[in-house]
Amino acid sequence: MPTYLDRILEAHRAAAIEAPREPTPHPGARGFAARLRDAAAGGEIAVIAEIKRRSPSKGDLDAGLDAAAVAADYERGGAACLSVLTDHAFFGGSAEDLAVARAATSLPVLRKDFTVCEADVVEAAAMGADAVLLIVAALSDAELARFHHLAGEVGVDALVEVHDEAELERALVVGATLIGVNQRDLVTFEVDTRRALRMAAAMPAGVVAVAESGIAGPDDAAALAEAGYHAVLVGETLIRAGDRAAAVAALRTARRRTLA
């Protein structure tokens, strides 16, 4: 039986454009990784606050949200960066959500989507994203290396997402210095809230480490900060919060060791 990841990747690969548009450097990239490093250098755990309308496993979270208003709330709460879902079929997102969220704030923005071809990387820069997501589990070694290099060419950062030590090693081989540990299993979509803690010791010095998924509040952020993570990427918890700015601010109370 096809998994969530199988279905999503099949749809994205079917729609993939083989020939990328001419790679043009992002004219005004805001420095996604640099913003996280700046926060971490001050001992603060950075919050990457996500704009997410729905989930394939949980359905609608806030299908009618105003992306600009949500982004402004996140910035008011002290978020370091934004993450915006642009997949429409499975997450209800769009390139327009990313554009309006970025225009409403001064924050760097991650295009949260399933990157499966060079055109996806070039398109991310063209739509104004400051970072692109590369999921190791969804890519071959050759694709991972090629897309990571292309991200640098077009002037956007690459958040390379892993789920275990083997995937972490693959990320390091291509030179990734911004690495996210996703606690959500992309096959079952179940969350293992201990995964990031287990993998913390495997992160080499100098890597900006991001914990993703399953972060329910300040206690979780504090545990991840203590383990050495520099940032947390939080979606559902913030989207469901009654006061989104306050929810971001609460996550930021976690302190961490100074970035090596």
Positions marked active-site: 50, 52, 112, 161, 182, 212-213
Beta strand 131-135 pairing with 157-162: parallel
Across-strand partners of 144? none
Give the closest residue to 176 by CA, choosing from 64, 74, 33. Answer: 33
Q: How far out from the chain centre does Cα 186 lie?
A: 14
Please report, for the chain, how many H helices and E strands are present, in that order.
Answer: 11, 10
| Strand stretches in the chain, DSSP E | 46-51, 54-55, 59-60, 81-85, 109-112, 131-135, 157-162, 178-182, 208-212, 231-234
- Report d(CA 82, CA 101) in Å as an integer: 8
| Burial of 88 from C-beta contacts in 10 A (0-12 / 13-18 / 19+) | middle
| CA diameter of the chain | 47
Q: At what angle do helices 165-173 and 141-154 cross, to 10 degrees?
A: 50
Which sign, positive or negative, has the C-alpha torsion 211, 216, 222, 226? negative
